[in-house]
């Protein structure tokens, strides 16, 4: 970090996908990570790649436009069809789908409302990410729960995959699947991978470490149960407003430091 202008010096261009079983804390992790990186002066693109839209709200934003809506307009509006006929599709997405927030930018996939294939929204998302990520230090993708987006290579060209699990065997099994899928198709040659276990109690940590050792996955950190998050949930406050001393915030900050994401 530069002492005079408070910005970072290191040139970065990293795409990080956050994956895992449903409800394990992916969106929370991405929102906190986005806040930390943006506050350090990094240029951050947050990608809400979960069809029901959740990262957007966790960031305290409104889904003003989504890739799904832009796609629907391309299909249904003859003028729009004509306008974009000769434009590269990645330029259309990059120019029109991004929402600029105070501290970062946001790209929302959304959900297909009408007829048509859901996969093509995922395709458009892929084009959007590959074009836009060049302009950002960090592109942080809050993936759909489960293994599909990684399995179908909807999210490709990542530099790092952070798998989030809760303490359940089911959560760890999904992480193992994700880890193995990642291994088998090798996006961009090698990308870094690590597992974060969320809502882990002190007593559970040694048991989890033992279990995960057998799975051959690297645990990069634990996040404790955080009553501050529960409070934010209760009062419908965005995770982006979580205080810096919240236990989850401190844990995620530590993970980013240890992984060399924050220097």
Of the residues 12, 84, 145, 262, which one makes contact with ligand ATP according to CB under 6 A: 145
Asked if 56 interacts with ligand ATP (CB under 6 A), we say no
Asked if 19 interacts with ligand ATP (CB under 6 A), we say no
Distance CA 104, CA 126 (A): 20
When the beta carbons of 52 and 115 are compared against ligand ATP, the nearer one is 52
* Site stretch for ligand ATP (CB under 6 A), options 6-14, 16-24, 38-46, 170-178: 16-24
When the beta carbons of 82 and 202 are compared against ligand ATP, the nearer one is 202
8 Å CB contact between 58 and 239: yes
72-111 residues near Mg ion, rule: CB under 5 A: none
Asked if 54 interacts with Mg ion (CB under 5 A), we say yes
8 Å CB contact between 19 and 26: yes
21-40 residues near Mg ion, rule: CB under 5 A: 26-27
Instruction: Look up residue 61 and give its two tokens.
Output: 């934003």
Distance CA 147, CA 99 (A): 27
When the beta carbons of 54 and 130 are compared against Mg ion, the nearer one is 54
Distance CA 237, CA 248 (A): 15
* Site stretch for ligand ATP (CB under 6 A), options 67-75, 90-98, 179-187, 222-230: 222-230
Q: How far is the CB of 30 from ligand ATP (least distance, A)?
A: 8
* Site stretch for Mg ion (CB under 5 A), options 50-58, 195-203, 208-216, 244-252: 50-58
When the beta carbons of 92 and 158 are compared against ligand ATP, the nearer one is 158
Distance CA 45, CA 141 (A): 8
Residue 176-215 contact track with ligand ATP, rule CB under 6 A, x = bound: ----------------------xx----------------
166 Cβ neighbours under 8 A, 6+ residues apart: 21, 23, 24, 25, 197, 198, 199
Asked if 22 interacts with ligand ATP (CB under 6 A), we say yes
Among Mg ion, ligand ATP, none, partner that 216 touches (CB below 5 to 8 angstroms by kind): none
Binding site for ligand ATP (CB under 6 A): 20, 22-28, 50, 54, 145, 198-199, 223, 225-226, 229-230, 233, 248
């Amino acid at each position: 970090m530069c002492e005079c202008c408070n910005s970072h010096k290191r040139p970065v261009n990293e795409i990080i996908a956050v994956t895992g079983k449903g409800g394990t804390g992916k969106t929370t992790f991405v929102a906190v990570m986005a806040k930390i990186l943006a506050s350090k002066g990094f240029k951050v693109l947050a990608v809400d790649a979960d069809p029901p839209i959740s990262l957007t709200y966790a960031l305290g934003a409104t889904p003003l436009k989504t890739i799904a809506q832009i796609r629907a307009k391309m299909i249904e509006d003859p003028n729009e069809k004509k306008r974009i006929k000769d434009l590269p599709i990645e330029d259309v997405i990059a120019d029109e789908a991004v929402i600029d927030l105070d501290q970062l930018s946001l790209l929302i996939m959304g959900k297909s409302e009408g007829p048509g294939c859901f996969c093509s929204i995922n395709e458009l998302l892929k084009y959007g990410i590959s074009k836009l990520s060049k302009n950002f230090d960090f592109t942080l993708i809050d993936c759909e729960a489960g293994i599909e987006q990684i399995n179908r290579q909807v999210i490709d060209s990542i530099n790092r995959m952070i798998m989030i699990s809760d303490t359940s065997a089911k959560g760890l099994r999904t992480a193992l699947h994700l880890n193995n899928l990642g291994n088998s198709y090798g996006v961009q040659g090698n990308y870094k991978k690590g597992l974060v276990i969320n809502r882990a109690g002190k007593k559970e940590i040694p048991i989890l470490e033992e279990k995960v050792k057998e799975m051959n996955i690297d645990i990069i950190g634990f996040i404790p149960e955080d009553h501050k998050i529960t409070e934010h949930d209760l009062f419908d406050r965005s995770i982006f407003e979580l205080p810096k001393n919240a236990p989850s915030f401190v844990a995620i900050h530590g993970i980013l430091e240890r992984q060399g994401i924050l220097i």
